[in-house]
Each structure stands twice: as structure tokens, then as C-alpha cells.
Structure 1
Amino acid sequence: MQSLTGISSDRVPSVSSNPCCLIVEDQVLIALSIEAYLEEAGYDVVGPMISSADALEWLRTHTPQVAILDYSLKDGACTELAGKLVRRQIPFMVYSGHPRRPDIAPEFAAAPWVMKPCTREEILSTLQTLTHRPSAP
């Protein structure tokens, strides 16, 4: 399985006290920007993964503390992936260019929905709320 950057997504961040965040985003520049933001803020990052299928495969043997999902990926809407995260009680946010629709699948009901583009601070603030982590210095 390959991540967006060509690095094996089977890698697991080394044991640390930092929360692990799974990034599922198929747009290279956006994914790499998010990855850089999170690493600078003290998160361990897995991915970016470019499809729900890749993320679901990784989740078979790993558990992040939080995830960022693009709603619309190369292999379609990430509804199945969102459902898996909900069942495993892994908090996630949706970072999408699509607005939240009133008829959105119930898997997304409790997830914060952040519209692209947004500021780095908005992404980090949303993740900090999901992980109950204090703001980075």
C-alpha cells in the first residue's frame, strides 16, 4: 500500500506521546500542507492516503487517535471509511470542497465539517477539539 508521497503507509509512527492522525486526501498539495501543519503542531501523521480503500486496509491493523477525511476521493465518497471510524470510536473531521448537505449519510452526523480552503488554525483547532488536546505553543 502506498501513500500519496510514495512512502509505505504501513509505517506506524514511533512510540510517542503525540496523537496519531490519519490523513485521507487525494490532492497532493493539500495533503502535504496538512501533513506539514500537523507535524509542526506535534502530531504523528499517517498518510496521506489517496483512497478510502487504502485507509480501510491500514485500519485493519492500526488505530489512529484522530483522522482528517476529504469527503470525495478518487474511489468515491468516504462514507464506508467514516462508518468504520464511527464504529471504532475514532474521532474525525471532514475537510472538503463540498458543503455539508442536509441529506448527508448518518456516518457524518457528529463529524466537524470544515470547508476548503480554510486557515491552518481552523484545521488545528478542530483537531484539538476532537482530541481534547491543548493548543500548540
Structure 2
Amino acid sequence: MATVVSFVCGLLFGFGLLLSGMANPAKVLGFLDFAGRWDPSLAFVMIGAVAVAAIGFAIAKRRGKSLLGLPMQIPASTPVTRRLMAGSLAFGVGWGIAGFCPGPALVALGLGSVKAWVFVAAMIAGMAVFEWLERRRQAALATAP
């Protein structure tokens, strides 16, 4: 049952990305073009998404289990670290250059976008490099005196 609900939620999310224009890199780049022909419409999409997420997290924090009976998995760590800031910066720069973030890029893959294929390939390569570096970092920490 959880798999079916997850699939339906993913479809709904993907449809929302298409409907809002988030899967269109030209629209995203228009939103980021403050000095040119700025398109503020995605700000309303983001405000709506943050509002819905805030309500969802507030409800989830009060519950021990989801509506499907699965345990809630809410992040416990909240400090803002250098690693978090660096990752956020890299994410934002990539979003600003390509006009994609991971979710919309996956939706655009389904539309046959070549730019999305290149972005997703680069994203997977970046994830692999991060995993490799993280394993090296963990190994170095484990052997440090």
C-alpha cells in the first residue's frame, strides 16, 4: 500500500511541477533574471510550497506514525554548518546555471529534454564524487588519533 501511495504522490508532485512551470528551465531562469525580464510567478509557487510543507511538518511532528502506519522520519539535526552552507551554495549555483533542480529535471527527463538528460547525468556524477569523498573523509576520521 505504501508503494502505491508513494507512486501516486510522486505523480501528483510531477504534475504540479509541470503545471507550475518548474520543469521548464527557461521559466526558472526568467525567475532568476532580476536585471532583465524578471518573471515573479515562481515566487508564488515557492511560497505555496513552503506554506504547505510548514503545515505538513507541524502535523508530522505531533504524530509518531504516518497515516499509513509507517514511522515518521523527520530530521533531528538543525544546526547550520559550513558543509550545509557549501552544499546550499552549490545547489543554488547549479540551479541558476541550468534552470533545473533534481525533481523538475527528472520530470523533464520524461518529456525527452536533452538538457535534462545532461543535467541528470552530471547530477549523478556529482553524487558519486560526493560519496567517494565522504567515504574518504569518514575513513580519515576513523583512523585519526
TM range (shorter): under 0.3
Higher relative contact order (CA 8 A, sep 6+): 2
Question: TM-score, normalization: structure 2?
Answer: 0.24
**Structure richer in strand, relative to its length:** 1
Question: TM-score, normalization: structure 1?
Answer: 0.25
